[in-house]
Amino acid sequence: MRRATLGIIGGMGVQATGCFYSMLTRLQTVRAEQEYLDIIIYSKPSTPDRTAFITGQSIDSPLESLVLAATTLEAAGVACIAIPCVTSHFFYEELKRAVGIPVLNIPEETAGFVASRGYKRIGLLATDGTLAGGFFHIAFEKSGVETIVPQDSAQAYLMDIIYNIKRGEFVETEALDGMAAELRRSGAQTIVLGCTELNLLANGSPGYIDAMEVLARASLRVCL
């Protein structure tokens, strides 16, 4: 019987993609290495900056690069596609139309997970592009979940953290603590890591829901 293969559009950023692959491996229980899921990663760090385009700071659209990666993976025979970059989901509908295989949706998967745990108000840590795109807010609203985001100064600090990680610079693991605490004081019952770079800071820490882990579990559920 032919096995399903997972396709990953990666490189946005490269460290997040590496963490996603490691997470997929860690979440599988196998008796031999041959039982691990087959995966094809198309790493495209050359994809134009998603946030810069969405917020009007650049006219260089990432869409062509994303569609090329998706169609290449489809031609390679993958069963479905995961994109461990939340901001790229601004282009989700165009990507879904470009291929004939499922493209997993991080906001919808995460909103469903949050709602299933009974949360009604969450704090969202995400890029400016994700917040401006509004797709995470829409997914949460459909699931009956209210979204709280950082104040402007804290959001600017968060963007610095995200881009520092993308450049491979060192960031203190406690960098999110202040923002998370403020969101909880504003009524957030839990904090959603709505940017895959943030997994590198809060991996496994209590009090966070990691959108990348939600995506990893959804990928395994669909492909296995």
Q: Where are the alpha helices (DSSP H) in the chain?
A: 14-26, 50-54, 63-75, 92-98, 106-116, 128-133, 135-142, 152-166, 177-185, 199-202, 211-223
| DSSP assignment letter at 1 | -
Q: In angstroms, what is the C-alpha Rg of the chain? A: 17
157-203, pLDDT tens digit by residue?
A: 999 999 999 999 999 989 999 999 999 999 999 999 999 999 988 76
Mean pLDDT of the chain: 96
- pLDDT higher than threshold 90 for residue 3: no
Active site residues: 85, 195
- Domains of the chain with bracketed CATH: 5-105+214-223 (3.40.50.1860), 106-210 (3.40.50.1860)
Q: What percent of the chain has pLDDT over 70?
A: 98
Query: What pLDDT, in 10s, does the model give residues 91-128?
Result: 999 999 999 999 999 999 999 999 999 999 999 999 99
Whole-Å CA distances, 119 to 33, 110, 137:
37, 12, 14
Which pTM value belongs to this model? 0.96
Neighbours of 168 (CB within 10 A): 9
pLDDT tens across 118-170, in order?
999 999 999 999 999 999 999 999 999 999 999 999 999 999 999 999 999 99
